Structure 1
Amino acid sequence: MIEFFAARVYYLVSFLLLGVGTYMMIGSPNLVKKVIGMNVFQTGIFLFFIVIAFVEGASPPLLTAPAPYVSPLPHVLILTAIVVGVSLTAVALGLIVRIYDEYGTLNEEAIQKVVGDD
């Protein structure tokens, strides 16, 4: 049983990151903590995609390389996702700065009371 989990430790870590990120986004009323939770969640997704792309004993997809090959597509997708994640974080933090300037707080519940949405 221990060998089963030891061989899949990266899957467990990725699901742990997904869970922690989800909990931070849902459970915290602070907007900055929600953005941090989103980044933790994204890291879990990145790790999961890299783990499922790993092929034991595989080689790079070159013309002279023997089979089996490693697909470069998941790695390229993760590089693109990292760039999108950094951009999303920058926009979210910029909006948080504007929200703080307008309302004087980062607490989601206090902002909802001021705005009047219940």
Structure 2
Amino acid sequence: MLQLSLILLMIGLGLYGLATSRHLIKSIVFLNVLEAAVILFFLRLFYVPEGAVPIIPSMGGKPVDPLPQALMITTIVIGASVTALALMMSIKIYHQYGTLDWKLLLEKEDNQ
């Protein structure tokens, strides 16, 4: 129950940070927090206590479903790629506009 509470706290923190942050880098960090919380939620949801590897039936125990684990590994790789791309784009934005503040970026974009 404590794990689920912490996961929900992380989801709330990520959503709050995305909604209130005006800085581009902070938004990327809060997006990563939200991504980690979703991954932890799904791993917690599909966790099988004393589960066995499905390839080796002689290990005993209830076999676990490998699909959620494979999807979460894929999610981690995609999340890292999206984060790298977002950070690279934020560097380009900073060099072009001189700021990473969302409000100032929108004002500068409207003025051009």
TM-score, normalization: structure 2? Answer: 0.91
Question: Which moved further from structure 2: 50-59 or 10-19?
Answer: 50-59
Say whether the 8 Å CA contact 2:50–2:61 is kept in structure 1: no
- Alignment pair present for 1:96 and 2:90: yes
Distance between the aligned counterparts of 2:13 and 2:62, measured in 1? 35
- The residue matched to 1:64 in structure 2 has which SS? helix
* Paired residue type of 1:37: F
- Alignment RMSD, CA only? 1.4
* Paired residue type of 1:51: R
2:38 aligned to 40, 45, 52, which one?
A: 45
The answer for the alignment partner of 1:78 in structure 2 is 72
- Alignment pair present for 1:14 and 2:7: yes
* Paired residue type of 1:50: L
What is the CA-CA distance between 1:58 and the residue it aligns to? 2.5
State the aligned residue count. 110
Unaligned 5+ segments in structure 2 are none
TM-score, normalization: structure 1? Answer: 0.86
* Paired residue type of 2:36: T
What is the CA-CA distance between 1:63 and the residue it aligns to? 3.0
* Paired residue type of 2:68: P
Higher relative contact order (CA 8 A, sep 6+): 2
Q: Deviations over 1:58-103 (max 9, x none)?
A: 3221233445221111111111111100000000001100110111
Unaligned 5+ segments in structure 1 are 1-7
State percent identity of aligned pairs. Answer: 31
2:29 aligned to 36, 39, 47, which one?
A: 36
What is the CA-CA distance between 1:111 and the residue it aligns to? 0.8
